[in-house]
Structure formats: structure tokens, C-alpha cells
Amino acid sequence: MAKNDLLGGSLWDQYSNKVTTLMNNPHNQGEISEEEAAAEGHKLIVADFGAESCGDAVRLYWAVDPATDTIVKSKFKSFGCGTAIASSDMMAELCIGKTVQEAVKITNIDVEKALRDDPETPAVPPQKMHCSVMAYDVIKKAAGLYLGVDENSFEDEIIVCECARVSLGTLREVIKLNDLKTVEQVTDYTKAGGFCKSCIKPGGHEAREYYLVDILADVRAEMDQEKMRSAADAGAMGDFESMTLVQKIKAIDSVVDDSIRQFLVMDGGNMEVIDIKDSPEYIDVYIRYLGACNGCASSSTGTLYAIEATLKEKLSQKIRVLPI
């Protein structure tokens, strides 16, 4: 059946050929019986997982060689949409030949990428990405049953975006490191919120404990407090010209973080302070450009003048900035 016969044109075209093929002709759909597994000396594992947000459910069957912990056979039953069937089929396929410990490392992103026709084109529309999330959860459940441990023990981080498997710690670190100010920037840098979008803010297809809008607001508030403390510390140090070398570097870094770095990062660049040397006439600040700033034509003209002017205004008119 042609794609356009099933769904209206553009939406259906967002599904890869692999997905549409496996929707109707899954390779690994079925059951593994206790008798079948026992006859071959394997241990049978049956795990169920259901997604309350959409009503889809999947049952995963493993026949595991207990001597090596290797998954010899993997089958599934899926109760849900065509995307859930295709995702479950690929999930079962990826398990075959792996040890149980290796299978736990399979993520929904691995499943989605394996369903792509080419590496750069997503296999499903963003709103259907959640269908592959079940893969990771049911694998964890099966592994927990086999190893006799709590399935949650496989998760050592708080996952905010289930689709892209992005943790709370990663999000906080990336926001701070790159001075991100919008959720769109967070998505660009981490892919969190780029698929089903439920983790962006309340009101998505399922309730979440953490949302990007709240995480971003909290981290930005922490960053603002840190800048205020740095500014206060710099003020407490007294006159810039009488500071020690370490104090001068801290004061310059504070001004760069507060007033300069974000503009460099927006253009794909950055900078770092290498050294500071005092003379009767100047306080020479040696910097190194990073990223796109390195070799940029304006790095020795407009950008350099802007950095120097800001440091002079904030700290001392004796400052002279020299790139190396």
C-alpha cells in the first residue's frame, strides 16, 4: 500500500521506509515458550512495559544462554500503533547476540537511528519519538528479571528527556558552560525537547518531574547569583591596579563572563586569559581566541577593541589587551 493511501502526504513522508516496512512485516514478532527455551538449554525471560501516556504496551521475550548471559533469541508482542510495532521489532533485533549487560546499554536513540534510511534523517516524526522510549524501559525490566536486581539500578542519573536520554546533570552543565538563555538553545546543544517535546513544559503527552523551562530558570538564577558574588568579591578586593596577579585574573574572568563571553559564543567563538603583565604605563592582558574567533578578521580589530574597551570601563584604563 502506498504511503499516501494511508496518511495525508507530508506526515506519512516523515516515516522512514524501514519503519513503514516493519509496521506491516515485523521480523521478530511472536513468542518464545518455556518449552522451546528449556529444550535448547536457555533461560526464558518475559518482561512487560506499558506507556500510560499513549496506551501502547510491549512484551519482550528473551531466550538467554545462562553460561554466557548471551541473548540467543529475542521476540516481542506490541499492543499499540504501527510506530510502536516497528520500534519494538528493531529493539528485539538489536538485543540478539548481545549479553544481557550489553543489552541494557541499548537506548531508544539507538533504536530510532537503526530505523533510519540514512543517518541524517529521523525515522519518525517528533511526536512519535515516544514510541521508541518503551524499548529502553522494557529492556531494563527484562535485564532486571534475569539478573535478579531492581530495574532502576541500571539508571544512575535523573533522565529529563527520555527521547534523547539527556540527564539533569548534563543539562545543568551545558547551560552553564555555554551560557544558554533559551529552551531553543538548550535543544540545539543537547537534543533534549527535540522529539516528543513533553519535557519542555507541562502539558505534553505525559507529566514529567523535571521540565526544561524550570531547569533553565533555576540554572540562570544560580548563574546570576554567582556573578553577583564574583562582583562583590572583586569589589572587596579594592582597586584593580593594586590587586595581586590571581585577583586580577579573577576580576577579568568575572567581567568576561558577565559582559563579553556570550557575544563571542553566539558567533561560535570564545576566549581565555593567558597572562597578565604590569608595567608603569600599561596592564597588558594576554588572551587566546578560541573557536571561530581564532583567525577571524575582526579578532584583531573590532572584537579586540570591544574586549579592551569593556575591561577598561569595568576595571582600569591602563588595561591593554594583546591576543597571542
Model pLDDT, residue 78: 86
Q: Model confidence at 42, in pLDDT bands (50, 70, 90)? A: very high
Q: Model confidence at 160, in pLDDT bands (50, 70, 90)? A: very high
- Report the 3 state secondary structure along the chain: CCHHHHCCCCCHHHCCHHHHHHHHCCCCECCCCHHHHHHCCCEEEEEEEECCCCCCEEEEEEEEECCCCEEEEEEEEEECCHHHHHHHHHHHHHHCCCEHHHHCCCCHHHHHHHCCCCCCCCCCCHHHHHHHHHHHHHHHHHHHHHHCCCHHHHCCCCEEECCCCEEHHHHHHHHHHHCCCCHHHHHHHHCCCCCCCCCCCCCCCCCCCCCHHHHHHHHHHHHHHHHHHHHHHHHHHCCHHHCCHHHHHHHHHHHHHHHHHHHHHHCCEEEEEEEEEECCCCEEEEEEEEECCCCCHHHHCHHHHHHHHHHHHHCCCCEEEEEC
pLDDT higher than 80, residue 17:
yes
Catalytic residue among 95, 131, 161, 163: 131
- Looking at CATH, the fold of the domain delimited by 239-323 is given as GMP Synthetase; Chain A, domain 3 (3.30.300)
For CATH 3.30.300.130, list the domain ranges present in the chain. 239-323
Architecture of domain 3-156: Alpha-Beta Complex (3.90)
Model pLDDT, residue 317: 94
pLDDT higher than 90, residue 213:
yes
pLDDT higher than 90, residue 263:
no
For CATH 3.90.1010.10, list the domain ranges present in the chain. 3-156
- As a whole number, mean pLDDT of residues 260-288 equals 92
Model pLDDT, residue 40: 96
Question: Could you confirm whether 54 is annotated as catalytic?
Answer: yes
pTM comes to: 0.54
- As a whole number, mean pLDDT of residues 46-63 equals 82
Write out pLDDT tens, residues 131-144: 666 777 899 999 99
Model pLDDT, residue 84: 87
- As a whole number, mean pLDDT of residues 189-193 equals 85
- pLDDT-above-90 percentage for the chain: 51
Model pLDDT, residue 298: 83
User: Where is mean pLDDT largest: 5-19, 59-73, 81-95, 223-237?
Assistant: 59-73
pLDDT higher than 80, residue 156:
no
pLDDT higher than 90, residue 230:
no
